[in-house]
Amino acid sequence: MSDTSEDLSAMTVAERRAHWESWMGAALDEARRALGTGDVPVGALVLDEAGRVIGVGHNEREATGDPTAHAEVLAMRAAAAVRGEWRLTGCTLVVTLEPCPMCAGALLQARVRRLVLGAWDPKAGATGSVWDLVRDQRALHEVEVLGGVREGECGALLREFFEARRG
């Protein structure tokens, strides 16, 4: 992971993949923090244009009783606080699970440039699986989506969490 400005277009495909896989590892670490409160283990981070982390979050719905306390929303709130404004133009959101409709809407509203996601959500995903809100032609902003980054690890963490709850 780099904390300096990087030109992704100058990287090879393999270098870009390694770059996003590294950042997904940080998002997975954040997702594991949710386990301590019984929240679904989803983690997210926001990178600014220079590749610096300016916001992190993990699911906190159970911990806070807030239905909007999804990892993505919390990470974007933190990033907006760092920037001092709501616009996250040029930023990248890295998240372990495909965003739901609420979070996809928040991505659009914040003007996030790119979404890097781990596991696809075949039940409630809104960035390419069930719905595709972030690339809908009627939206005022379009988000680049890179999916399936460390998908196996991200999916396994979620499966293990739900199996333990059902068990």
Query: Which active-site residues does the annotation give?
Result: 72
- Residues 154, 149: Cα–Cα separation, whole Å: 9
> Is 154 assigned a ligand-binding role in the annotation?
no
Give the list of residues 6+ apart from residue 62 with CB closer than 8 angstroms, or none: 37, 38, 39
- Residues 39, 131: Cα–Cα separation, whole Å: 24
> Measured at the alpha carbon of residue 148, what is the angle toward residues 41 and 116, in degrees to the nearest 5?
75
> Is 100 assigned a ligand-binding role in the annotation?
yes
Residue the block writes with tokens 């040029």: 90
Query: Phi/psi of residue 68, each to 5°?
Result: -95, 5
> Is 91 assigned a ligand-binding role in the annotation?
no
β-bridge pairing 92-97 and 114-119: parallel
In angstroms, the Cα distances linking 42 to 25, 36, 49, 96, 119 are: 12, 12, 23, 6, 10
Q: Which residues are annotated as a binding site?
A: 70, 100, 103
Q: Which residues are annotated as a binding site for Zn(2+)?
A: 70, 100, 103
